[in-house]
Structure 1
Amino acid sequence: MWAQEPCVSTPKAGSSARSGCCAPLPAGRARTTPSPSALGGSPLPARPQLGAAPAARSQWQLRTQTRRRVSGARIGWPVCAGAAAQGGGARGRVEAAAMLRELRRRWGSYKYRFVPWLALNLRRQRRTLRYVPESSQDKIIADEDVFETLLKTFKALFINDFSRQADILTLLPEVKCQYQELLTVEQKQSKVDSCTHPGQHVFSPEEVLFNTLGFTVGRDQSSLVSAGTGVFVTKGFVPKGTVVSMYPGTVYRKHEPIFFQSLGNPFIFRCIDGVLIDGNDKGLSRSVYRSCSRRDQLGPFQMSDESWLTATLQNPLAVGQYVNNCSHEKAANVCYQEFDVPGHFPVELKQYLPNIVYSHDVESHLRCVVLVSLRDIKQGEELFSNYYTVVR
């Protein structure tokens, strides 16, 4: 005998569809089955008579089950649509919250370049500002001291990489004799050191910096929340009044184009006289620096250092663009100082200068910016500077 068909009922608004048998009805009410036309489909096929061929019964069962599945999907569609609407609303709220967080993050980095905000918040940000009486008194140490520090460091890097300087030294025989004398002194010293530290003849740029100035600096995750990358004294001790880092990048005069490079760029440094230095090592700024650097190259003589654009630094001081601004909790321990490279700077050492001018026809000294320590800085401390200098 044929089994009795399960009943089909339309769920009420606000109720959910259940599988299996229908719930019992109150006494005196008859259960009704919706017609196929109400479900939006064609009528169910007629049940074959008892004793009909097995093929006919199988075909009727298949068509009946298919029709019931389609009808059930149509009946449950309003419930599924309501759930989808609720899920879409939740996703919209999540996306709106994420967009708001991103806007706050962007505003947090941009507001320091928004002049009206700066004007309204100068009094509340006095600790994060640096005040100087005149633009000429912006220097912590003399330019001669900056020059001597850079010259000493770059010479040590040059001698450490002496084997790669053959093409340059061939064109500068007098300079070659001077460096050969310095190299002889270095080799004698290395022989003395090899008695206690055998095999240590080739040094990394960081080790050269430590042997020359007594400290090394490097990039790492900042101790400030959401500050990104910071600069730390990774080894040694930095005395007060020492050049601890350099701000690399392309140097622009006030009238030179920098609009497209400045879009979304937090690494543009403005000097007191309006000269700009783009210290971004990515995107268009990176391409502009490399183009200008290779434009000014004279045979084997490189007029600037491109290694700060990579993870392997030839000049380990060229990390100043990642020094973070001080806060109320973290006072500044370094400050920026502008320095114009003199014309008599050794041409063989310009390959370590991490700056290049945008215009080739500029008849002026190359502008550099160094960071000078305001106090003694110990190993493991992060460097913090004042992003804004107010000239009274």
Structure 2
Amino acid sequence: MFRTVVKRFQDKWKSYRHRFVPWIALNLSKNEKTLRQVTEGSKDKLVPDEEVSQTLLKLFRVLLRTHWANHEEVRAAQTQFLRQVTSEDHYGENPTHGDDAMLQSLGFHIDRKPSTLPSAGTGVFVTRGFVPKGATVAMYPGTVYQAYEPILLQSIRNPFVFRCIDCVLIDGNNKGISKMVFKSCSGRDRVGPFIMSDTSWLTSSPQNPLAVGQYVNNCSNEWPANVCYQEYDVPDTFPIELRQYLPNVNYSQDSQRPLRCVVLVSLRDITAGEELFSNYYTVVH
């Protein structure tokens, strides 16, 4: 029993320590080979924001078309079912769904699977297609907190709080109080019939397949980083009908700042079967 408890604690600590600031500070020198360093915060971008926007718009438009196509299929199937019942025919097969939106629009597909790293738990893999260098590969979902906003209760035993260079925090935990906060803020921010954020990342089947960035594991000397985090502020011109696929929401309704998102961008070409590894440490000089 004691060994089981110790083993469980060790596994949780290995997952959490990379986000525990005192541990990071004490181990920076040991992790110097895997550190990501930039000269200043404003230069921490691998690709322009415009390219990130174009990638998201391309995917979200396909998701929207697929969404409406599925609705049409469901209505057609219901109509066909009623006709068959009234004519005493047998019910046919379910309608087929559309093509994989991610593979169709971006040329690759990612998914969560058990990590290749011991005790790392879940990881993110490229399962199909090919990821070119500089592509937006994933998004880090969650509630966005400004530096002055309270997050103490949400951060307790929470290894999914991401800290941006300007001290903005993103809580990517899909359980407990973090989950309740996100759903509450998402419901609050509706604009008429338009949903302004995507809550499906809180489930095992996110409708935005990019919204799994919180499961990308930290790199090591043996497994160097092949993606990096990049902060991205959603522009005001982003179409309102496509915001339903953004997996982020502001904690405060009256926030005057653009919605902060964090995307993961590929550092090199990545082929199917590879696991994604980011760098949890970025040093700004």
What TM-score do the two structures reach when normalised by structure 1?
0.65
**Structure 1: 4+ residue segments shifted above 6 A:** none
The residue number in structure 1 matching 2:273 is 380
Q: Secondary structure at the match of 2:256?
A: coil
What TM-score do the two structures reach when normalised by structure 2?
0.88
- Partner amino acid, structure 1, of 2:37: Y
Describe the shift of the 1:201–1:262 C-alpha distance in structure 2 as closer, same or farther (beyond 3 A).
same
**Structure number with higher strand proportion:** 2
Distance in 1, Cα, partners of 2:130 & 2:174: 28
Distance in 1, Cα, partners of 2:243 & 2:256: 17
The residue number in structure 2 matching 1:352 is 245
Higher relative contact order (CA 8 A, sep 6+): 2
The residue number in structure 2 matching 1:142 is 48
Q: CA deviation at 1:155?
A: 0.9
- Partner amino acid, structure 2, of 1:315: N
Tell which structure's C-alpha radius of gyration is larger: 1
Q: Secondary structure at the match of 1:256?
A: coil
8 Å CA contact retained: 1:128, 1:387: no
1:279 aligned onto 2:172: yes
Distance in 2, Cα, partners of 1:246 & 1:113: 18
Q: CA deviation at 1:272?
A: 0.2
Describe the shift of the 1:208–1:99 C-alpha distance in structure 2 as closer, same or farther (beyond 3 A).
closer
- Partner amino acid, structure 1, of 2:169: L
1:116 aligned onto 2:11: no
Q: CA deviation at 1:264?
A: 0.6
Distance in 1, Cα, partners of 2:210 & 2:21: 31
1:156 aligned onto 2:49: no
- Partner amino acid, structure 1, of 2:194: F
Q: Secondary structure at the match of 1:103?
A: helix
CA RMSD of aligned residues (A): 1.9
1:214 aligned onto 2:107: yes
The residue number in structure 1 matching 2:233 is 340
The residue number in structure 2 matching 1:318 is 211
Q: Secondary structure at the match of 1:237?
A: strand
The residue number in structure 2 matching 1:365 is 258
8 Å CA contact retained: 1:320, 1:371: yes
**Structure 2: tracts of 5 or more residues without a match:** 73-93
Distance in 1, Cα, partners of 2:138 & 2:243: 16
Describe the superposition over 1:247-272 as per-residue Cα deviations: whole angstroms up to 9, x where unpaired: 00000011111111111111110000
Describe the shift of the 1:141–1:200 C-alpha distance in structure 2 as closer, same or farther (beyond 3 A).
farther
Describe the shift of the 1:303–1:311 C-alpha distance in structure 2 as closer, same or farther (beyond 3 A).
same
Q: CA deviation at 1:111?
A: 2.8
**Structure 1: tracts of 5 or more residues without a match:** 1-93, 167-198
Distance in 1, Cα, partners of 2:67 & 2:25: 49
Aligned-residue identity in percent: 59
Describe the superposition over 1:171-214 as per-residue Cα deviations: whole angstroms up to 9, x where unpaired: xxxxxxxxxxxxxxxxxxxxxxxxxxxx997325xx11101110
Q: Secondary structure at the match of 1:356?
A: strand
- Partner amino acid, structure 2, of 1:143: D
**Structure number with higher helix proportion:** 1
